């Protein structure tokens, strides 16, 4: 699924439906202005809503992200579907912008590393002492390793290992802000829809983006329902979320401004995730630069060593 397609579709859905146009024609109109996946499926979603179906159910059946489904479900329950659709659009727009920033930060170092890995084999290939294809050997090894890491990540995700790795010390510095932002977004939407805390926690559990946190939130939901946990903040504290953010939510819960403080925590967490992602990209870029410099130094040393050996052998032949 294209993030840009999702952002455009839900932005148009919010814009059109807010004007008073019924949901079914609004979906079809939003699909026309979108592209790809959403453009293809919008007519079927429109017909389903015309027949009395829930949009959230159809989105779930079509494989839309859990976060999207949860927000639309809350919007349909609360009568605030345009607001939820706009929140989804902003979420995907933010994701597209962040992805573009990270790619822009890493493009040049990636090119530099590939060139640096090609350099050692250029002199032998030029002199004919090695086949020409060996110039591409270094980049080929690099991308084989990258491909293996990606494949391992996909396998780990299907087996639940990725969820545990995302909460490991060091890694959680990057992942927890995003998980918390997703959780607060859905909780705020669910509470605005009139859901009780246990139901809101269940909805957030399915869309937080991490299996381990999802299981913890589901258990906390049952504990709140059965009286073993007293309130929303205590339930959230069962997860590895930052204590300062939990204190903000507790203050809002005590003052009767839970939705407002959830929004505040969501915004702060989103900005924290963006900042930490950019710093991670900078670190990776620094590693790439360091690797390129190291390869360059090795090549220079090898070339100088070759010249020294050549000069030494010529001098030895010229001696009487």
Low-confidence ranges of the chain (pLDDT < 70): 1, 127, 153-160, 299, 302-303, 306-311, 313-320
Q: Where are the domains of the chain?
A: 3-64
- Is the distance from CB of 74 to CB of 203 less than 8 angstroms? yes
Question: According to the model, what pLDDT value does residue 310 have?
Answer: 62
What residues have CB less than 8 Å from 246, skipping those under 6 apart? 233, 236, 237
State how far the Cα of 155 lies from the Cα of 133, in Å rounded to an integer. 32
Give the CA distances from residue 293 to residues 104, 179, 289, 296, 304, in Å, rounded to whole numbers and listed in that order: 21, 37, 6, 5, 16
Give the CA distances from residue 3 to residues 68, 137, 245, in Å, rounded to whole numbers and listed in that order: 12, 35, 28
State how far the Cα of 266 lies from the Cα of 98, in Å rounded to an integer. 16
State how far the Cα of 77 lies from the Cα of 193, in Å rounded to an integer. 6
Question: According to the model, what pLDDT value does residue 216 have?
Answer: 94
Question: According to the model, what pLDDT value does residue 215 have?
Answer: 93
- DSSP conformation letters of 103-114: HHHHHHHHHHHH
């Amino acid at each position: 699924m294209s993030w840009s397609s999702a952002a455009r579709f839900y932005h148009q859905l919010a814009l059109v439906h807010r004007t008073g146009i019924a949901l079914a024609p609004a979906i079809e109109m939003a699909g026309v202005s979108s592209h790809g996946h959403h453009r293809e499926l919008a007519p079927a979603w429109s017909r389903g809503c015309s027949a009395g179906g829930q949009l959230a159910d159809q989105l779930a059946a079509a494989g839309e992200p859990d976060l999207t489904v949860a927000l639309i479900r809350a919007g349909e329950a609360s009568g605030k579907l345009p607001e939820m659709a706009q929140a989804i659009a902003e979420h995907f727009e933010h994701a597209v912008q962040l992805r573009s920033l990270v790619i822009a930060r890493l493009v040049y170092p990636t090119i530099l590393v590939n060139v640096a890995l090609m350099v050692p084999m250029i002199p032998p290939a030029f002199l004919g002492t090695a086949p020409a294809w060996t110039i591409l050997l270094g980049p080929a090894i690099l991308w084989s390793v990258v491909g293996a890491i990606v494949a391992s990540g996909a396998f780990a995700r299907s087996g639940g290992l990725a969820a545990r790795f995302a909460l490991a010390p060091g890694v959680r510095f990057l992942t927890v802000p995003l998980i918390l932002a997703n959780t607060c977004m859905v909780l705020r939407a669910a509470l605005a829809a009139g859901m009780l805390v246990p139901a809101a926690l269940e909805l957030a559990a399915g869309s937080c983006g991490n299996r381990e946190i999802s299981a913890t939130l589901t258990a906390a939901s049952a504990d709140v329902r059965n009286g073993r946990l007293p309130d929303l903040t205590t339930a959230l504290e069962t997860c590895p979320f930052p204590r300062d953010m939990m204190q903000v939510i507790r203050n809002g819960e005590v003052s009767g401004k839970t939705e407002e403080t959830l929004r505040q925590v969501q915004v702060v967490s989103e900005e924290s995730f963006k900042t930490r992602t950019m710093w991670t990209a900078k670190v990776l870029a620094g590693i790439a630069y360091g690797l390129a410099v190291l390869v360059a130094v090795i090549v220079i040393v090898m070339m100088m060593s070759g010249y020294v050996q050549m000069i030494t052998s010529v001098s030895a032949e010229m001696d009487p």
